Structure 1
Amino acid sequence: MAHPLPTRAAPAGTLTRLLAALTFATGLVEAAALLGLGPVFTAMQTGNLLFLGFGLMGQGGLSVSAPAVSLGAFVLGAVAGARLEGRLEAHRHRWFVLAVTAEGLLVAAAGGVAWGVQPLSSAPTGRHLAVIATLACAMGLRNVTAMRVAVPDMPTTLVTRAMTAFLAGSLLGRDPAFGRGPGATQRRAASVGAMFAGGVVGAAFIRWDWPLSALLWSAGGISLLVAAAFVPQARLRSR
Structure 2
Amino acid sequence: MEPPTGTALTVIMVGLTVATGVLDAVSFLALGHVFTGNQTGNLLLLGFGIAGQGGLPVAAPVVSLGAFVLGAVLGARLESAVARRRRPWFPSALAAEAALLAGAAAAAWEPDVARGLPPGPRAAAIGLMAVAMGVRNVTALRVAAPDLPTTVATRVMTSLVGGSPLGHDERLGYGTRAGARRLASVGAMFAGGLVGAALIGLRTRPVLVLLLVAAFVAATALVVSGLTRRRAAAGD
The TM-score normalised by the length of structure 2 is: 0.91
1:55 aligns with 2:49: yes
CA spacing shift, 1:10–1:156, aligned 2, 3 Å? same
Cα shift at 1:59: 1.4
Check whether the contact 2:137–2:149 (CA below 8 A) recurs between aligned residues.
Answer: yes
Opposite residue 102 of structure 2, the aligned amino acid is A
Cα distance in 2 for partners of 1:176, 1:220 equals 39
Cα distance in 2 for partners of 1:230, 1:180 equals 31
Check whether the contact 1:153–1:187 (CA below 8 A) recurs between aligned residues.
Answer: yes
Cα shift at 1:52: 1.2
Q: Tell me the percent identity.
A: 49
Match of 1:111 among 84, 95, 105: 105
Cα distance in 2 for partners of 1:168, 1:53 equals 30
Match of 1:207 among 166, 191, 201: 201
Cα shift at 1:11: 3.7
Opposite residue 74 of structure 1, the aligned amino acid is F
1:172 aligns with 2:166: yes
Hey, what does 1:91 align to over in structure 2? Answer: 85
Pick 1 or 2: higher relative contact order, CA cutoff 8 A, min separation 6: 1
Cα distance in 1 for partners of 2:115, 2:164 equals 41
Cα shift at 1:183: 4.2
Cα distance in 2 for partners of 1:63, 1:11 equals 41
Match of 2:123 among 125, 129, 133: 129
Q: Give the 4+ runs in structure 1 shifted more than 6 A.
A: none
Opposite residue 38 of structure 1, the aligned amino acid is G
Check whether the contact 1:20–1:191 (CA below 8 A) recurs between aligned residues.
Answer: yes
Structure with bigger helix share is: 2
1:222 aligns with 2:197: no
Hey, what does 1:20 align to over in structure 2? Answer: 14
Check whether the contact 1:77–1:136 (CA below 8 A) recurs between aligned residues.
Answer: yes
1:77 aligns with 2:83: no
CA spacing shift, 1:30–1:23, aligned 2, 3 Å? same
Q: CA RMSD in A?
A: 2.1
Matched length: 230
- 1:151-190 mapped onto 2 (5 Å cutoff): 151-180=145-174, 183-190=177-184
Note the alpha carbon deviations across 1:156-189, whole angstroms, 9 max, x for none.
0011111111111111111111114664122201
Q: Where do 5+ consecutive residues of structure 2 fail to align?
A: none
Opposite residue 170 of structure 1, the aligned amino acid is S
The TM-score normalised by the length of structure 1 is: 0.90
Cα distance in 1 for partners of 2:30, 2:68 equals 19
